[in-house]
Structure 1
Amino acid sequence: MIQQELIAADCIVVQKPGAIVSDMNGEKVMLSVENGKYYNLGKQGGRIWELIASPIAIPDLVSALTAEYDIDRETCERDVLKFLASLQREKMIEVTRR
């Protein structure tokens, strides 16, 4: 059994290929070709999805988001890690350690 890498602040994340993404009224919606499920990422989740199109370290992802949104770093990191964990459970991202 393959064990998934736990997501932590010292990880690098990137989208896995195989998702069809569309913008609907400013929110990202996605179809996973692999598991046949639809997802509504919302505006902020959609922005995270855009930022992880290329491999990005979580601290850099959090910095980009705190520069764009009115949110403190600690709250942002906690929310980002939670969101990425849900994407990981759905096999939508790849996670590696730095």
Structure 2
Amino acid sequence: MTYPRFRRRPDAPAATLGDRLLVLDVARARFVGLNAVGARLWALLETPLSADDLVANLLAEFDVDAATCRIETAAVLRDLVARGLVEVDPDPCA
């Protein structure tokens, strides 16, 4: 397993609206909309995973090339971490 591992904040409210997932960014009082791939990434982050693990899961489920998946997964993770919706798992031994 590679590190760091990421997880979604358990207190970040989220709701499905049509084919999108809306996550409330409480600090900014705004919703963050995620498409189907982003919604799946969010679901995967219920348990701590590394970026490599996320990419592997997404590659198995979506028709996308590996390079694009890595780039886009990293971008979404950076954005969600910057918003405080995803955090680095503090327990690397779990």
1:54 counterpart residue number: 47
What's the CA shift string for 1:11-37, capped at 9, x where partnerless?
211011221111111210111334422
CA deviations 1:32-66 (Å, max 9, x no partner) are 33442211112111111001111012111101100
- Is the contact between residue 23 and residue 33 of structure 2 (CA under 8 Å) also seen in structure 1? yes
Which among 17, 23, 34 is matched to residue 24 of structure 1? Answer: 17
| Alpha-carbon distance in structure 1 between the residues aligned to 2:82 and 2:54 | 19
Question: Counterpart in 2 of 1:83?
Answer: 76
Q: TM-score, normalised by structure 2?
A: 0.83
CA contact (8 A) 2:55 2:73 kept: yes
Task: Give the aligned length.
Answer: 90
Identity of aligned residues (%): 27
- Is residue 2:51 matched to residue 1:42? no
Q: What is the aligned-residue RMSD (CA, Å)?
A: 1.9
8 Å contact 1:19–1:32 — kept in the other structure?
yes
Contact 2:21 2:33 survives alignment (8 Å) = yes
| 8 Å CA contact 1:29, 1:42 repeated in 2 | no
**TM-score normalised to structure 1 length:** 0.80
| Residue type at the aligned position of 2:53 | D
